[in-house]
Amino acid sequence: MNGIERLHAIMTTLRDPEKGCPWDKVQTLETLKPCVLEETYELLAAMDNPADKENHIEELGDVLLQVMFQSVMAEEKGEFSFDDVANAVSDKLVHRHPHVFGDVKADDPAAVLRNWERIKQSEHRKSERRSALDGVPKSLPALLKARRTLEKASRTGYTEEMKGVEIEGDPGEFLFRVVNSIAAMGVDSEAALEKAVSAFSDRFKAFEERKREE
């Protein structure tokens, strides 16, 4: 029995209606949300100190547990299994790396990302996704959402409004001073940035729509 098989067997036992764990067997997708978030942040902290390999392994395992937990819950309902999850991401990786598994050329990371976004858009053409930004989770903190939004927009070759400001000194200190200046105006920086990201997204989606019409 390999590691994945063992984890699956343990999680299935913990979820057993009769002999399972009283806590594990009553969990739902809703109650697991805080666990997923907490484990993700703990993994991020471990990634800041990769020299502590034992902690890194432990935190990776905790995130994997959340994936297995939800997979076993879905298995119980006959919806999907952990293998379905693993195969789905494997299929996605092969499909989105035609420069490795096919005959497409991509000589640098920027070309890879452009291909990735183009392929991703074609995959979702028949779904509700119409924008390269639709994959940015709405629940992200504003600063992370801004970064992901700008990254995705730039991957499409979009250059309008993408010029940054010149930063002197430490970038963190610069950002800290910006937050302080905004607070002195009596404005919440998180809300202000959220509003700016939303406005940028609207302009970018309008740009995408014009390109589709052309």
- Class at the top of the CATH hierarchy for domain 3-86: mainly alpha
- Longest CA–CA separation in the chain, Å: 63
User: What contacts 24+ positions apart, CB below 8 Å, involve 92-97?
Assistant: 95/119, 95/123, 96/120
Cα(34)–Cα(123) distance, integer angstroms: 30
Element spanning 16, H or E: none
Per-residue confidence of the chain (214 residues) as pLDDT tens digits? 899 999 999 999 999 999 999 999 999 999 999 899 899 999 999 999 999 999 999 999 999 999 999 999 999 999 999 999 999 999 999 999 999 999 888 888 988 888 887 887 777 654 555 788 887 888 888 998 999 999 888 888 787 777 788 888 999 999 999 999 999 999 999 999 999 999 999 999 988 888 888 8
pLDDT recorded at residue 114: 84
pLDDT recorded at residue 91: 95
- Would you kindly state where each structural domain of the chain is located, as residue ranges? 3-86, 139-160+169-214
pLDDT recorded at residue 154: 86
Q: Are 71 and 81 in contact (CB under 8 A)?
A: yes
pLDDT recorded at residue 129: 59
**Which two tokens mark 159?**
């250059």
Q: Are 95 and 86 in contact (CB under 8 A)?
A: no
pLDDT recorded at residue 210: 86
Burial of 172 (0-12, 13-18, 19+ CB in 10 A): exposed
Q: Are 155 and 132 in contact (CB under 8 A)?
A: yes
State CA 204 to chain mean position distance: 20
pTM: 0.68
Sign of CA pseudo-dihedral 39, 44, 46, 50: positive
**Which two tokens mark 16?**
């057993």
C-alpha separations of 60 from 65, 67, 157, 198 in Å: 9, 11, 34, 33
- Rounded (5°) CA angle 195-197-201: 115
Q: Which of 137, 143, 116 is nearest to 36 (CA)?
A: 137
